[in-house]
Structure formats: C-alpha cells, structure tokens
A and B are shown apart, each in its own frame.
Chain A
Amino acid sequence: MNFSNYDTQGFYDELFDQDNVPRPGAKLLIEKIESLPENDLMLKQRSAETALLQLGNTFAVYGSEEGTEKILPFDMIPRIIDNRDWKKIEMGLQQRIYALNKFIHDIYHDKKIIKDKVVPEDLIMTCATYRKQCEGLVPPKSIWCHVTGTDLIRDSDGLFYVLEDNMRCPSGVSYVLENRQVLKRTFPHVFADSGVRPVDEYPNKLLATLENLAPATVSESKIGVLTPGIYNSAYFEHSFLAQQMGVELVEGQDLVVTDGFVYMRTTKGLQRIDVIYRRLDDDFMDPKAFRADSMLGVPGIMDVYRAGRVAMANAPGTGIADDKAVYAYVPEIIRYYLGEDAILPNVPTFICREDKARAHVLENLDKLVVKAANESGGYGMMIGPHASEAEREKFALLIQKNPRNYIAQPTISLSRVPTIVGDHFEGRHVDLRPYILYGEEIYVMPGGLTRVALKKGSLVVNSSQGGGTKDTWITDSGAGEDENHSQTQYHVPFSQSQSQTLTRSDDITGGNHA
C-alpha cells in the first residue's frame, strides 16, 4: 500500500501538506509504510483487531440488541502533531482547566462572576448539571475537576479550537494507552527515530492526583475506582485503570456508609476507603442526595464527602462547567479569573437563549451544527448540512420549545488523517481529546485520543456513532528549534492551594479502623 494516489482534497490533512507532501513529523512513518511488502499493513491491521477482541477490550453499545460488545474500531495510521503546535495546546489547556476550576468553585460559593454580570444567573441556575447539594462545598485543596478530557478540532486554517470540555467522567484514555502498545509493536523503529513523546506515565500521574486528595491524617490512603459495573460501556477502562494503578475496583454495592465513613465490604470485614475515583455520574452517586432510584451509588456518601472524610474525583457538581451553553462563555471566564486572553480559542457559538442568536440559528439551520447543552456521546445533535428537512424541522421545534438547552456552531471542516479503507488510504475526519489531570500541578497527557469518523465524509467521531480511534504522536521534528524552549509551561499560580479543607478529627472512633 502506498500514498501515491492519496489526495488531501483541499482539507487540512494531519500527515500531508496542501501539495500532498508529507509533513516533517510524518516523513519517516510514510516512508516506512511505503516500504512494507504489499498487504503487510492490512495483515497488521487485522491482527491488531483480533488481538483487541481476544483481550476483550470491548465497549457496550447502548440500545442495540445484538452485538452489545464491540471492539472500538482502531486504525493503524497514527495522527501526528508537531511538538510546536502541541506546546500551545498544552499551555492553552492548563490555562483553561485552571480557570474553569476557579469558576466551579466560585459558582458554588460567592457567585462573583454572576454578580459581576459576566455570566448570566439564569443560565447557571437552569443548568441540568447544577447541583444545589454542592453549594458551600470545599473539596480537598479546592480542586473540583481532577480529570478532564477536552475535545479539540483543527479547522481548515490549521488552528486548533476547543469544541467541548468533558469534566464529569471523560472516558477513552485506556484506548490511548492500548493503541500505543499496538503501534509500538508495529512500527518500533519509526518510534525510536521520530522522538514520539510517551503517554505511559498517565496511570502514575492519575494515582498521584488521587493520592493528593487523601485526608492529611491518613498515613496510607486506600484508593478505589468506582465503576457502575461490567455492563457499563467503559467498564474495560475502569478495570484497566484500577489494574494499572494497583488500586481496588469497586462497585456501589461494595461500599457502605456507617459511623460517618465509607467502607468497603471485604472478606475480613469492613475496611475504610479514603479516595474514590468515580466513573459514575453525580445523579447516581448517592440516592439520598441525588436520584433516589439509583441502584448504583452509595447511600449517604455525600454526607461523608461534605465532612471531608472521603475524597472524590471528580467532585460532584463539575458538570456545570461542561454545559455547552456555559462553554460559550469560557473565554470570558478565563479573562474574568485570570485577566488573560484564552490561549486556545473556542469554536464560535450561538447561544439559543439569546433572541438575536436564536433568530440567526433558526434561519441558518442548514449551515449550522446544533447541540443539546448537556448531552454527550454524539447524542442530541444535528449537523445542518447533512440533515434532512424533517430533522431540521424537528430541531427548529426543539429549539423554540427549550432555547436554553441548545447551542449552534458553524460546521467546521475537521482536519483529516489518511485511514485504511479496503486496500488503500482515504482521508477521514478526526478530532482530538487530550486528558488533563489537576493535582499538585496541571498535567496534560502528550497526545490523547484521536477519534476518527470512519464513514466517508462523516464529521461524527463518537464511538457510539461509527467512530474509531487512532494513536496520536507528538513528535519533535527538529523544526523551530530557535523558539524559546523555557516558555513551555503555563505558569499556574499555585500559592493559593493551601485551603481550609475539612479533615476528619481524630476523636471520632475512626482510629480503630486505620
């Protein structure tokens, strides 16, 4: 297989420039692929897929009767980003997460940003993800969003834009780590020579982020990953992360609140747990505090959390910051809290609750992408240029009925990456989800999950809608060495991190269970 007939067709291609010449970081890889014997790449691709199936790295597709287990389609051709582009992304994300964390804290406390009329009050108060139960809450070290997956896209101008923030339970990081394993075995030499930045330290970084939350009084903290169970679409990832970090994987039924602490039911009785990396939505966490019908959560856990006797990542209530209508205000939010301009721009967004914007959206439904404000996974959205007349009418009605719940954005021509289609390569659209950890520092995984829309022409990359994944390489092509390398970190002022987090006092029997 070779790239002689490959055509970027005027799209921004991640591996080739507009003259169909390989970009500097991709040159070695392209040469390697072209030197492979005929069919070799397809065989490699097939054996990688078989390996993934046998490993059982599958996800469940909701709402489909048969084949509820599928492997996430995986394409061997990686997406390559030059380190120079990456540095900007890294700094932009650090800035963004730092500001959003301040925003969440403010919203559940003094609401200064509302009082100063930067963000409208009713927008926040009508957020489906606003949690009254979190008002006045002080999470350990005032960190709310410990794990974020921010979706980025690259437009035809070659610039990266933030498409959305996922601040509740972003998934997919296990695929990044697994995809990397597969590609390392497939192209070992290219790896060595291209200077691809490693992603494997993620589980260690995650563990450190969680350890950072343990109450100071606990000498050896007990940490667990809370999963909804084996039928959850991301179960593989929950189990993978628990295994990689060497911590317990727990379900709601394994935990019980008693005597003001959270305990695990073990074969030797109850054992206290200090930090929970939860992969369960707020709604299901505690039937006493949130949805009463939740069978997956732990009754009473919010009281323990509020008392500072168990830590949770992410904190409940963080969903407020990934509401798609709030998203439109993020550049203002960054400016408000940090006095800086956003390093990474947003995609221009029309907020349907605003009359002028709504009128514009309703008139231009055939050109815009419409999204429900708190849906994810590619559900509840319409891509205007690809939608039928009936679909557009349906969304026009939905918007008029509940304008608060909708936003619209121009259709962005996502960048493309060559992808194996049958016996040749075709360009397919991609996005990028880097993972950001907020612990003692803000760590951005170098790379992230590149999701690819496998259907020809499709712009929907979600796994639930026919998307697949690719490995993402951050490479140092050597170009641009002249740039000032010392200015690579966004400098987060962490002096504030000493906070009045409530720690449990020792007079409460707890000592017996240590």
Chain B
Amino acid sequence: MLSRVASSIYWMTRYIERAENIARFISVNLNLTLDFPAEASRQWQPIIMATGDHQLFEKKHGTEYSARNVIHFLALDQEYSNSIISCLRAARENARSVREIISSEMWEQVNRYYLELKQAGTTDYASRNPHKFFKIIIMRGHMFTGLLYSTMSHGEAFQFALTGLLLERADKTSRILDVKYFMLLPQAGEINTPYDSIQWAAVLKSASALEMYRKRFHRIIPRHVCDFLIFDGEFPRSIRYCLKMGEQSLHKVSGTPVGMVSNPAEKALGRLCADLDYSDIDETISMGMHEYLDDLQTKINVVGGCIHDAFFKVATVPDNGGAAQ
C-alpha cells in the first residue's frame, strides 16, 4: 500500500486513541472529586503540569487553574495542539485522506465525532457535565475501535491502524500511571491510608481497569496496581499486552513470524517486548517507577521512529525497496 496511506492510517488511530486517553487522564481527577469534593480544587494544577504545557495554559488563563479552565484547555481549545478537539481534527484530516481505504462507517464516525466536538466547543456542556462529557468521549473511542475491528478487512491497512493504536495506548497507560507521581504525589502521612488507596483506585478506574484488577489482586496495593497496568498479560490496556499485540500486528505487515526480524521496527519493538517479558515489578520499583516509565516512553518513541523509517519514508531508488512487489 502507499506509504502515505499507511502513515495516515497509523496516525489516524493514534490520534483517536490519544483523544480518548486525554479524557481518561482528566477522569482520574474527576473520579477523585467524587470521593473528596473538598480536595478537588487543588488537583487541577498538577494535571496541567503533567502535560508539560503549563506555560501555554498560563498565557491563556493566568494561574487560575479552575476545573472550568483546565477542562476547556485540555478538551476543547482548538489552539492547543494536544487538546481532544485538536487530536480529533488531526484524526479526521488523516481519515479524510484515506477515506477510500477505510470503511465509510469509520469515516462517518470520525467526521460526526469531530462535528459533535466542534458543537460542544460553542456551549459550556463539558464544564457543566464533565463526567458525562468525558464518558461520551471514551465511548466514541470505543466505538471507533469497534468499527475498525468489525467493518474493515484485516489486511495491511488494518495492521497499521492497530499498530498505531496499540503503541499510543501503551504510551498513554504509562502516562496515566505516571500521573500518580505528578499529581497524586503521596504525602508522607497519606501512604497506605484509605486516601492513598482511593487515589490508586481512581487511576485504575480511568484506565477502565478497576474490576479486572480486583479479579486478579482483590485488594488495592500500589505495587500490584503498577504490576497490573505494566505487566498484566491479559488486560487489554496493560503496557505489556499492548506492545505484544502491536508486535503481532507489525509482523503481519511484513509476513515475518514473531521471533524473527525483517526490519529495524520489528527489532526495536521485539527488544522492548523482551524487556517486559523478562522483567518484573520488583525490578521496576527498585529502578524507580517514574524513571522506569520515562525510559519506557522513550523506547516506545524509538519504535515509532523505526516504523516511520521502515514504511513511511521510502527510498526513491527502486533497487533498494523492490524486493517484494
């Protein structure tokens, strides 16, 4: 398939998944406000700090980190390139450029989703009904993934879509976990108190992981939460699961079985999966959770770069790439 098309499909799903994860990110906070209404107001600044875009925020809103401002900034600000609506715009532009490749159901859903968000930007629905609003965003993401799986042939284009989606999801689960270190920094006296476990439950909930976690570990213990979200072999948002499924998709593109390597992208992702297979939560904790997650994110980015070089940026000399036509 055309390199440009593969790239557009890969980025389309990445942006859709990114939009969904911004909603999940915010919902960590929303979940907390349900349990600790009094604490809620002090929690909105760290969420912006965690994005790294606080300077841009302050340019627009000063230091007024109100729920309203933060929600608007992260969800509906069209000038902020990492907002939900900006992600959707990017996803839609990509979808538009491959609409003859994806199913029309997928295109129509992205298009409608974007128009809906644009409409939401003109009202204050999001800040008045944030729980409902972000739930809708998450459901839209699920709907798109469902359409992807069930209306598009599972050929090469689909594998690129899935690879993009899974890499993005792995990255974002690591960031949701990392949020704990930015915004829920355990104050010495709070560790192992009900407050602490409620915070961790909020993290699980925002990854739709609470029930599945409880089936495996029953009690909420930080070590187990991290173990579950990083290493679980069956939960579809755990980092290891996402990367291993991503590896399978990537291998379906080249036709090389997992375990063999035919290009640098497979090599980079294979190595990352092996890291996760042969490491465990104790090692992670001794390395320092934040440091570990940071390193993981860098490695996921390297995989993304390798995918770009291997498939999207094709050499113009036919002999270099003419192997399989």
Q: Which chain A residues have a beta carbon within 8 Å of chain B's beta carbons?
A: 53-56, 229-230, 235, 239-240, 242-243, 248-251, 253-254, 256, 258-259, 263-271, 512-514
Residue from B6, B97, B311, B318 within 8 A of A513 (CB atoms): B318
Name the contact of B99 in the complex, choosing from A239, A259, A267, A513 (C-beta under 8 A). Answer: A239
Name the B residues within 8 Å of A256 (CB-CB): 316
Cα distance, A336 to B185, chains bound together (Å) = 88
Q: A54-B112, A256-B316, A267-B6 are in contact. Are A230 and B93 (CB under 8 A)?
A: yes
Query: Do B322 and A235 touch (CB < 8 A)?
Result: no
CB neighbours (8 Å) of A259 from chain B are 318
Evaluate whether A271 and B100 lie within 8 angstroms (CB atoms) in the complex, with A250-B2, A254-B4 already known: no
Contacts of A263 in B (CB 8 A): 318
A268 to B314, CA, bound (A): 9
Compute how far the CA of A239 lies from the CA of B97 in the bound complex, rounded to whole angstroms.
8
Asked whether, in the complex, the Cβ of B4 is within 8 Å of the Cβ of A243, the reply is no
- When chains A and B are docked, how far (Å) is the Cα of A5 from the Cα of B108? 40
With beta carbons under 8 angstroms apart, the residue of A55, A253, A254, A514 that contacts B111 is A55
Interface residues of B in 136-168 (CB under 8 A from A): 156, 160
Contacts of B104 in A (CB 8 A): 55
A269 and B323 in contact, given A229-B97, A235-B96, A258-B316 (Cβ under 8 angstroms): yes
B317 touches A242 (CB 8 A): no
- Map CB proximity to A onto B170-184 as digits: 1 under 8 Å, 0 otherwise: 000000000000000
Of chain A, the residue at the smallest CB distance from B93 is A230
Q: B321 interface residue, CB < 8 Å from A?
A: yes
A254-B3 contact given A54-B115, A269-B324, A270-B321, CB 8 Å threshold = yes
A222 to B107, CA, bound (A): 26
Chain B: which residue is nearest A238 at the CB level?
Answer: B100
What are 26 A-to-B residue pairs whose CB atoms are below 8 Å?
A: A55-B104, A55-B108, A55-B111, A229-B97, A230-B96, A230-B97, A250-B2, A251-B4, A254-B2, A258-B316, A265-B2, A265-B314, A266-B3, A266-B314, A267-B2, A267-B314, A268-B321, A268-B323, A268-B325, A269-B318, A269-B324, A270-B314, A270-B318, A271-B325, A513-B322, A514-B325
Nearest neighbor of B92 in chain A, beta-carbon distance: A56
Interface of A is mostly: mixed
Cβ contact within 8 Å between B100 and A265: no
Chain B residue nearest to A229 (CB atoms) is: B97
B253 at the interface (CB under 8 A from A): yes
Asked if B193 is at the interface (CB within 8 A of a chain A CB), the reply is: no
Instruction: State how many angstroms separate the Cβ of A230 from the closest Cβ of chain B.
Output: 5
The total number of A-B Cβ pairs within 8 Å is: 82
Chain B's closest residue to A243 (CB) is B100
CB atoms of A240 and B100 under 8 A apart: yes
Chain A residues within an 8 Å CB radius of B97 = 229-230
The residues in B between 80 and 129 inclusive whose CB is less than 8 angstroms from any CB of A are 93, 96-97, 99-100, 104, 107-108, 111-112, 115
Cβ of A514: which chain B residues have Cβ within 8 Å of it?
325
Q: Would you give the shortest CB distance from A50 to chain B, in whole angstroms?
A: 10
Q: A54-B108, A56-B108 given as contacts; is B321 within 8 A of A269 (CB)?
A: yes
Which B residues between 1 and 27 are near A, CB-CB below 8 angstroms? Answer: 1-4, 6
Q: How far is the CB of B103 from the nearest CB of chain A, in Å?
A: 10
Give the contacting residue for B320; candidates A54, A55, A56, A269; CB below 8 A.
A269
* B106 CB to nearest A CB, Å: 12
Q: Is the CB–CB distance between B111 and A56 below 8 Å?
A: yes
Complex partner residue of B96 from A56, A265, A268, A270, CB under 8 angstroms? A56
The 6 A-B pairs with the shortest beta carbon distances in the complex, nearest first, are: A269-B321, A243-B100, A265-B314, A56-B111, A267-B311, A270-B318
Residues of A contacting B115 with CB < 8 Å? 53-54
Inter-subunit contact B318/A258 (CB<8 Å): yes
Bound-state CA distance A265–B322 (Å) is 10
Q: Are A264 and B318 in contact (CB under 8 A)?
A: no
Docked-complex contact A513 and B4, CB < 8 angstroms: no
A499 to B323, CA, bound (A): 36
Known: A266-B1, A267-B6, A270-B321. 9 other contacts (CB 8 A): A54-B112, A240-B100, A254-B3, A266-B314, A267-B160, A269-B318, A269-B322, A270-B314, A514-B325
A249 to B160, CA, bound (A): 18
**Distance A249 CA – B320 CA, assembled complex (angstroms):** 24
Of the candidates B3, B108, B112, which one forms a contact with A265 in the assembled complex, judged by CB atoms under 8 Å apart?
B3
CB of B223 to closest CB in A, whole Å: 42
User: What are the residues of chain B within 8 A of A264 when measuring CB–CB?
Assistant: 2
Which residues of chain B are near A251, meaning CB under 8 Å?
4
Contact at A270–B322, with CB atoms within 8 Å? yes
Minimum C-beta distance from A310 to chain B (A): 15
The reply to whether B1 and A267 contact each other, CB–CB distance below 8 Å, is yes
**Chain A residue nearest to B324 in the complex (CB):** A268
Chain B residues, Cβ within 8 Å of A229:
97
Interface residues of B in 266-325 (CB under 8 A from A): 311-312, 314, 316-318, 320-325
Contact B108 A267 (CB under 8 A): no
Chain A residue at minimal CB-CB distance from B312: A267
Nearest-CB residue, chain A, relative to B318 = A270
Q: How far is the CA of A269 from the CA of B2 in the complex (A)?
A: 9
Give the CA-CA distance A476 to B120 in the complex, in Å.
49
Residues of A close to B317: CB separation below 8 A: 258
B100 and A242 contacting across the interface, CB-CB below 8 Å? yes
Closest A residue by C-beta to B316: A256
Q: Which residues of A contact B6 (CB under 8 A)?
A: 267
> A56 near B107 (CB under 8 angstroms)?
yes
Residues of B162-219 contacting chain A, CB below 8 A: none
CA distance A186 to B316 in the complex (A): 50
Q: Which residues from A are CB-within-8-Å of B253? A: 267
B residues near A268, Cβ cutoff 8 Å: 321, 323-325
With A and B bound together, what is the CA distance between A254 and B316 in angstroms?
A: 10
Query: Which residue of chain A is the closest to B156 with respect to CB atoms?
Result: A267
Residues of B within 8 A of A240 (CB): 100
B-chain residues with CB within 8 Å of residue A270 when the two chains form the complex: 314, 316, 318, 321-322
Closest to A224 in B: B2
Bound CA–CA A278/B99 (angstroms): 18
CA distance A53 to B325 in the complex (A): 39
Q: Which residues of A contact B321 (CB under 8 A)?
A: 268-270
Closest approach, in angstroms, between the C-beta of A430 and any C-beta of chain B?
A: 30
Task: Report if A266-B318 is in contact (Cβ < 8 Å); known contacts: A242-B100, A271-B325.
Answer: no
Shortest Cβ distance from residue A301 to the other chain B in the assembled complex, whole angstroms: 14
Residues on the A chain within 8 Å of B325, using CB: 268-269, 271, 513-514
Contacts of B156 in A (CB 8 A): 267
